[in-house]
């Protein structure tokens, strides 16, 4: 049977009622396509229905009404979500769907938020929806999360463009079976942000998610897990993406890859590969903390089984880090074929008195200046660094890598020709069961490895090439 089409005429005046009538008519007929032809359609909230597609044709613009009263108000929840209105609100939106199946939004047209700053309705907000397809459209000037998904399943977001988003770009929250592909996101806040919040009143995972072939530009984090991390993040793959500086800078850039469990979430099975970053402050930020939103008392989660490979990051401003906290290590993380060029320039090497910040908001800059110029790791059980290459743009007094309270560590095939003559290449403190092999340090250093702390044991050096008077520097 041919799918029914319902045409919505462009109008200079508000056309919400006529557009909603077309959506309702399509639903009452068992499904159909509501077509927005070329022209400007001034709108408030449209409530999407099951089995209804919205086609925004080339030359068509769904323009937000400038009057917020033309949009459905934020819903009042019967429980404390422990999150802000951007995370929990799904009715204050242009295209809003709730408890609906088989929703399609597609075409070559545009949704325009018609706002000069953050604070306003969401362009697309879907809650507890299944079988969702969002394809091809362009979203401009979004004053809130551009594509916001809560409790959704079987979602495809393919080939969309988000330009000048004032908030996050694409946010799957407590959602599963989600594919995000071939998208361009330019946002002031996080570009793609996976969440597992309490916005549904219970802990639910975000799982079985892929992000591929995307170009991301942001003033914040590029691909982020959290900070809302009450449920779990499981079986997530990010691949073949590029990260670059926003054309117009509004905030200091933060993490390229930011993986955060601070509200009890179990993060497991994350695979990230084939990423090119340019001018990202902190290329890698992995954090297990215990902020404990919605928990009394706070109970830490688990962060384990993370693989990051084939990454090139140039123009990095600051140090990447992988950190748990005392008694709660990050477990089994591998970095393979990662090449990072950092700014460098620190003239004084710092000590190991880095604040723990266990209950603080997780952000890649949270520790201040770290004692390593390339990678800092603390409270880790199972760390593999294979074919890692670090360089700097300006000489730096700090070691390339510092590991503090780390068990079962392997550094295999590390390379650099920009290490400092007054510092060792590596600094291990309280490191157990570690192997350093096949490393090539072409610059002159004080030593290959500095070892401090009383609990170091079973550290093996094998087949390393370095330019230093001693392999090991110990107090």
- Domain positions in the chain are 1-251, 258-475
The chain-wide mean pLDDT, for the chain, equals 95
Note the pLDDT of residue 69. Answer: 97
Residue of higher predicted confidence among 417 and 1: 417
pLDDT above 50 (res 1): no
Note the pLDDT of residue 461. Answer: 97
pLDDT above 60 (res 2): no
418-439 average pLDDT score: 94
Note the pLDDT of residue 249. Answer: 60
Note the pLDDT of residue 4. Answer: 80
Q: Given this structure, which CATH class describes domain 1-251?
A: mainly beta
Query: Could you tell me the pLDDT band of residue 391, with boundaries at 50, 70 and 90?
Result: very high
123-149 average pLDDT score: 98
Q: Is residue 163 within 8 Å of 140, Cβ to Cβ?
A: yes
**Cα(388)–Cα(368) distance, rounded to whole angstroms?**
23
Q: How far is CA 173 from the centre of its chain?
A: 12
CA angle (332, 302, 167) in 5-degree steps: 105
450-461 average pLDDT score: 94
Note the pLDDT of residue 254. Answer: 80
pLDDT above 80 (res 261): yes
> What percent of the chain stands above pLDDT 90?
91
CA torsion, ordered 134, 135, 136, 137, to nearest 10 deg: -10
Note the pLDDT of residue 248. Answer: 63
Give pTM, 2 decimals.
Answer: 0.96
**Cα(174)–Cα(151) distance, rounded to whole angstroms?**
5
CA angle (326, 327, 329) in 5-degree steps: 85
386-393 average pLDDT score: 96
Give which of 32, 75, 82, 78 is closest to 54, Cα–Cα: 32
Residue of higher predicted confidence among 246 and 201: 201
pLDDT above 90 (res 473): no
pLDDT above 80 (res 251): no
**Cα(16)–Cα(19) distance, rounded to whole angstroms?**
5
pLDDT tens track for 305-350: 999 999 999 999 999 999 999 999 999 999 999 999 999 999 999 9
176-196 average pLDDT score: 97
pLDDT above 50 (res 125): yes
pLDDT tens track for 30-70: 999 999 999 999 999 999 999 999 999 999 999 999 999 99
- Cis peptide bond prior to 395, omega within 30° of 0: no
Query: Could you tell me the pLDDT band of residue 6, with boundaries at 50, 70 and 90?
Result: confident
pLDDT above 90 (res 450): yes
Helix, strand, coil in percent for the chain, rounding step 5: 5, 55, 45
Give which of 189, 248, 183 is closest to 218, Cα–Cα: 189
283-297 average pLDDT score: 97
H helices of 136-236, in order, are none
Q: Is residue 19 within 8 Å of 63, Cβ to Cβ?
A: no
């Amino acid at each position: 049977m041919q799918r029914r089409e319902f045409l919505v005429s462009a109008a200079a005046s508000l056309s919400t009622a006529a557009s909603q009538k077309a959506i309702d008519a399509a639903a009452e007929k068992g499904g159909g396509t509501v077509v927005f032809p070329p022209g400007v359609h001034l709108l408030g909230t449209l409530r999407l229905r099951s089995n209804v597609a919205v086609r925004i044709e080339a030359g068509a613009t769904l323009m937000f009404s400038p009057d917020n009263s033309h949009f459905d108000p934020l819903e009042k929840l019967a429980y404390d979500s422990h999150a802000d209105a951007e995370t929990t609100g799904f009715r204050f939106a242009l295209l809003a769907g709730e408890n609906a199946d088989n929703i399609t939004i597609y075409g070559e047209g545009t949704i325009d938020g018609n706002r000069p700053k953050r604070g306003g309705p969401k362009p697309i907000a879907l809650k507890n929806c299944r079988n969702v397809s969002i394809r091809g459209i362009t979203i401009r000037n979004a004053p809130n999360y551009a594509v916001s998904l809560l409790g959704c399943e079987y979602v495809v977001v393919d080939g969309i463009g988000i330009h000048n988003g004032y908030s996050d770009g694409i946010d799957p929250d407590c959602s599963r079976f989600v594919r995000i592909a071939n998208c361009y996101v330019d946002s002031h806040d996080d570009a793609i942000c996976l969440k597992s919040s309490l916005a549904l009143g219970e802990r639910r995972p975000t799982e079985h998610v892929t992000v591929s072939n995307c170009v991301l530009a942001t003033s914040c984090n590029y691909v982020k897990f959290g900070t809302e991390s009450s449920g779990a993040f499981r079986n997530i793959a990010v691949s073949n993406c590029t990260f670059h500086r926003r054309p117009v800078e509004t905030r200091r850039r933060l993490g390229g890859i930011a993986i955060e469990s601070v509200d009890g979430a179990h993060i497991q099975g994350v695979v990230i590969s084939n990423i090119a970053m340019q001018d990202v402050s902190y290329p890698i930020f992995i954090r297990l903390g215990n902020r404990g939103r919605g928990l009394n008392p706070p109970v830490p989660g688990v962060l384990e089984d993370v693989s990051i490979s084939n990454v090139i990051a140039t123009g990095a401003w600051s140090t990447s880090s992988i950190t748990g906290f005392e008694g709660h290590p990050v477990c089994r993380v591998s970095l393979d074929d990662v090449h990072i060029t950092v700014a460098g320039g620190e003239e004084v090497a710092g000590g190991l008195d880095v604040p723990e910040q266990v209950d603080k908001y997780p952000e890649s800059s949270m520790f201040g200046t770290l004692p390593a110029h390339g990678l800092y790791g603390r409270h880790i059980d199972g760390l593999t660094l294979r074919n890692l290459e670090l360089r700097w743009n300006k000489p730096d007094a700090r070691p390339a890598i510092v590991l503090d309270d780390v068990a079962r560590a392997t550094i295999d095939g590390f390379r650099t020709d920009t290490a400092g003559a007054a510092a060792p290449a590596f600094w291990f403190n309280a490191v157990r069961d570690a192997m350093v092999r096949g490393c090539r340090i072409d610059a002159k250093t004080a030593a290959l490895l500095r070892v401090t702390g009383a609990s170091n044991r079973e550290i093996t050096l094998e087949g390393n090439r370095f330019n230093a008077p001693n392999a090991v520097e110990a107090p």
